[in-house]
């Protein structure tokens, strides 16, 4: 094995890989969106690019969450020699952040505090030669990456990093335009220079049958939904050929909101908005029943009932709770002890994995926090399972320092099973995970790739996707696979388009350093 030799990089620590060297060379010559599967060294590419640019100025590294910032801080501090690496947070006083920018060679931060500081002119980026955007697919709309990019001077190099930019051509194009990325460098597991470093990840789709009580509950909810969608159709707001999906309901809502914002005060608009809100909530209830289970549904229905009784309860929840079918629904939900078969299947998978190898680590993903709680309680009953829970900060969840601590305990083996919501999908270093379990498929190809990438990084890994037959699980599973198949073709098409276009000219000009063009 040969190692990277560079005066800024600690000797004999970074393996030399041909595909990474090629990607680094591309980044040195042009602002680049680097797309590389999880576990194949996007951070190493970032390190090597940063090492080259430090001779000409400071380096800014941005990551969307504090745990990711902390992870990058450890890596760059360990791998860069003779380099002052600092972490900035929004909790610091503004003057402290300004002083840190002045005194550091490499600044690692979440983008929000940098964007706010730049907008407030607390400091500028004139002394920086390079900015790196981790999880660059977030760079759309008014996300803080976009604000930071607007403050970069014209000769400053920009590099975006992601494992999964998505299949939406216009969205990827927007990312490249917003972050001034003029070329795309993409590798996949199948590329000849990458494949020698790829461990096998085996995807196992496991189908389960819905128990009779959940089938009954789903049928009642769908009967309720059908009544309200029929009303939308009668108002001319929904085509009879449209499936009653959340996507279509959101489209209807956006159209009605636009009509209302233009001053329309017709009964159709107000009635339509009310019906659309009812349908959204019923679709969520159906999803709870079919993909999560009776406990998750029971918790959700209790919230609806409580809200309907509140003085300022919404009209939609009052409509649902007042529906003639709601008492029948409530009786079935209250009278059954049936749980979703995914619960027992997840338990048997974790038990099997730990029995085969007690040193294994397992990551279980669930879309919803209530299901997370249920899974933690059930999986904790398995002999030898030491279960932790990784959730976001909202609504009394884990603070970012607690997330960092939990991941550290998972890496050390104190926990060998972690149940996580989406907060664990993106970028986090859980490289020794032996298996990942999807409690449900997700319709996003970005999230599917991120979830799957939590295993198979330093050894072969197993992925288990639990699918309830005849439910939205099957739709979501097909959707993410189709989008993933489309992604590479659209990326290659956009890369060709970018190579033909002229560089963006809207960036402000440099006012400090001399013209810089390595």
344-393 tens-digit pLDDT: 999 999 999 999 999 999 999 998 898 999 999 999 999 999 999 988 88
Q: 247-271: per-residue pLDDT in tens? A: 899 999 999 999 999 999 999 999 9
Rounded Cα–Cα distance for residues 220 and 29 (Å) = 60
Q: Which residue shows structure tokens 């001399």?
A: 514
Using an 8 Å Cβ cutoff, are 276 and 253 in contact?
yes
CA angle 272, 278, 282 (to 5 degrees): 140
**Residue 307 reports pLDDT greater than 50:** yes
Q: What stretches of 85-211 show up as alpha helix (H) in DSSP?
A: 94-103, 111-119, 144-150, 169-178
- Please compute the mean of the pLDDT values over residues 333-350 and round it to a whole number: 92
Quick one: pLDDT band at residue 178, thresholds 50, 70, 90? very high
Rounded mean pLDDT of 243-250? 90
Judged by average pLDDT, the poorest of 6-20, 294-308, 417-431, 456-470 is 417-431
Helices (H), 144-262: 144-150, 169-178, 212-234, 246-261
All structural domains of the chain with their residue ranges: 18-197, 201-209+340-475, 212-335
Contact 165, 172 (CB under 8 A): yes
Structural tokens at position 181: 């990325």
Report the pLDDT averaged over residues 328-356.
93
Q: In what order do the strands lie in the sheet with 32-35?
A: 85-88, 106-109, 58-62, 128-134, 157-162, 32-35, 183-186
C-beta of residue 96 within 8 angstroms of C-beta of residue 121: no
3-state secondary structure (DSSP) of residue 369: helix
CA dihedral (98, 99, 100, 102) positive or negative: positive
Least confident of 91-100, 284-293, 435-444, 466-475: 435-444
- Beta strands across the sheet bearing 461-468: 201-208, 461-468, 435-438, 362-365, 417-420, 387-390
450 confidence band (pLDDT: 50, 70, 90): low
Predicted pLDDT of residue 518: 42
Decide: 214 and 34 in contact? Cβ < 8 Å: no
Check pLDDT > 70 for residue 101. yes
Q: Does the pLDDT of residue 509 top 80, yes or no?
A: no
pLDDT beyond 70 at 455: no
DSSP-derived 3-state class of residue 455? coil
**pLDDT value of position 451:** 64
* Spatial distance between the Cα atoms of 258 and 262, rounded to a whole number of angstroms: 6
Please tell me whether residue 358 adopts helix, strand or coil conformation: coil
Task: Tell me how far apart the alpha carbons of residues 226 and 279 are, in angstroms, rounded to a whole number.
Answer: 9
Q: Examine the pLDDT at 487 and tell me if it is beyond 90.
A: no
| Residue 134: per-residue pLDDT | 95
> How would residue 514 be classed by pLDDT, with cut points 50, 70 and 90?
very low
Q: What pLDDT shows up at residue 428?
A: 57
pLDDT: which is higher, 28 or 393: 28
Higher pLDDT, 480 or 55: 55
More confident residue, 476 or 501: 476
Question: What does the alpha-carbon distance between residue 213 and residue 328 come to, in Å, rounded to a whole number?
Answer: 12
Given the DSSP bridges, would you call strands 435-438 and 417-420 parallel, antiparallel or unpaired?
unpaired
493 close to 169: Cβ distance less than 8 angstroms: yes
Residue burial 336-361, b: 16+ Cβ < 10 Å; e: rest:
bebbbbbbebbbebbbebbeeeeebb
The percentage of the chain sitting over the pLDDT mark of 90, rounded to a whole number, equals 63
- Alpha-carbon gap, residue 83 to 443, rounded angstroms: 42
- Rounded to the nearest integer, the mean pLDDT of the chain is 88
Q: Which residues, other chains included, contact 236 with Cβ-Cβ below 8 Å and sequence gap of 6+?
A: 268
Check residue 454 and give its pLDDT.
Answer: 56
Query: Of all helices (H) and strands (E), which one includes residue 441?
Result: none
Composition of the chain by helix, strand, coil, percent to 5: 50, 15, 35
pLDDT band of 424, cuts 50, 70, 90: low
Secondary structure letter of residue 199 according to DSSP: P
Rounded mean pLDDT, 137-160: 95
Q: What pLDDT sits at residue 443?
A: 74
Confidence of residue 445 (pLDDT cuts 50, 70, 90): low
pTM: 0.70
Check: CB of residue 319 under 8 Å from CB of residue 278: yes
**18-197: CATH topology:** Rossmann fold (3.40.50)
The predicted pLDDT at position 252 comes to 95
Residue 278 to residue 316: CA distance in whole angstroms: 5
Q: How confident is the model at residue 512 (pLDDT cuts 50, 70, 90)?
A: very low
**pLDDT score at 138:** 94
Is pLDDT above 70 for 220?
yes
**Residue 6 confidence (pLDDT):** 95
Which residues make Cβ contacts (< 8 Å) with residue 312, sequence separation at least 6?
Answer: none
Choices 3.10.20.90, 3.90.550.10, 3.40.50.300, 3.40.50.360: CATH for 201-209+340-475: 3.40.50.300
Q: Which CATH architecture has domain 212-335?
A: Up-down Bundle (1.20)
DSSP 80: B
Does 212-335 match 18-197 at the fold level?
no
CA atoms of 231 and 233, how far apart (whole Å)? 5
Residues making up the chain, counted from first to last = 518
140 pLDDT higher than 90: yes
């Amino acid at each position: 094995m040969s190692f990277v030799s560079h005066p800024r990089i600690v000797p004999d620590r970074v393996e030399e890989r041909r595909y990474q060297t090629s990607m680094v060379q591309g980044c040195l010559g042009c602002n680049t969106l680097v797309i590389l599967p999880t576990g194949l060294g996007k951070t190493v590419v970032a390190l090597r690019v940063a090492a080259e640019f430090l001779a000409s100025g400071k380096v800014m590294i941005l990551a969307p969450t504090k745990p990711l910032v902390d992870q990058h801080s450890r890596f760059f501090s360990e791998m860069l020699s003779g380099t002052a690496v600092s972490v900035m947070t929004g909790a610091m006083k503004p003057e402290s952040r300004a002083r840190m920018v002045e005194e550091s060679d490499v600044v690692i931060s979440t983008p929000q505090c940098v964007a706010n500081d730049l907008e407030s002119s607390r400091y500028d980026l004139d002394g920086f030669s390079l900015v790196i955007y981790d999880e660059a697919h977030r760079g759309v709309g008014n996300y803080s990456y976009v604000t930071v990019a607007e403050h970069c001077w014209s000769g400053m190099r920009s590099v975006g990093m992601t494992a999964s930019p998505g299949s939406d051509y216009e969205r990827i194009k927007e990312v490249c335009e917003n972050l001034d990325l003029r070329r795309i460098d993409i590798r996949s597991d199948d590329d000849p220079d990458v494949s020698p470093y790829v461990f096998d990840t085996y995807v196992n789709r496991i189908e389960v049958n819905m128990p009779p009580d959940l089938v009954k509950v789903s049928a009642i909810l769908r009967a309720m939904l059908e009544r309200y969608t029929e009303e939308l159709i009668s108002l001319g707001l929904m085509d009879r050929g449209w499936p009653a999906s959340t996507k279509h309901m959101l489209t209807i809502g956006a159209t009605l909101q636009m009509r209302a914002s233009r001053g329309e005060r017709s009964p159709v608009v107000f009635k339509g908005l009310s019906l659309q809100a009812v349908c959204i909530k019923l679709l969520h209830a159906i999803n709870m029943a079919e993909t999560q289970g009776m406990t998750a549904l029971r918790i959700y229905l209790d919230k609806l009932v409580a809200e309907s009784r509140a003085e300022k309860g919404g009209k939609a929840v009052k409509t649902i709770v007042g529906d003639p079918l709601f008492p029948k629904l409530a009786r079935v939900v209250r009278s059954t002890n049936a749980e979703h078969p995914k619960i027992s299947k997840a338990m048997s998978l974790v038990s099997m994995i730990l029995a085969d190898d007690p040193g294994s680590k397992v990551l279980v993903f669930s879309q919803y926090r209530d299901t997370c709680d249920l899974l933690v309680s059930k999986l904790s009953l398995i002999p030898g399972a030491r279960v932790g829970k990784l959730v976001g900060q909202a609504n009394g969840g884990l603070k970012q320092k607690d997330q960092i601590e939990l991941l550290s305990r998972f890496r050390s083996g104190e926990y060998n099973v972690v149940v996580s919501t989406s907060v664990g999908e993106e970028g986090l270093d859980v490289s020794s995970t032996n298996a990942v379990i999807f409690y449900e498929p997700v319709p996003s190809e970005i999230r599917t790739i991120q979830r799957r990438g939590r295993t198979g990084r330093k050894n072969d890994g197993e992925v288990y996707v639990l699918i309830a037959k005849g439910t939205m699980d099957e739709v979501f599973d097909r959707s993410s696979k189709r989008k993933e198949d489309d992604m590479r073709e659209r990326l290659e098409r956009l890369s060709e388009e970018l190579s033909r276009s002229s560089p963006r000219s809207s960036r402000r000009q440099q006012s400090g350093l001399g013209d810089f063009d390595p």
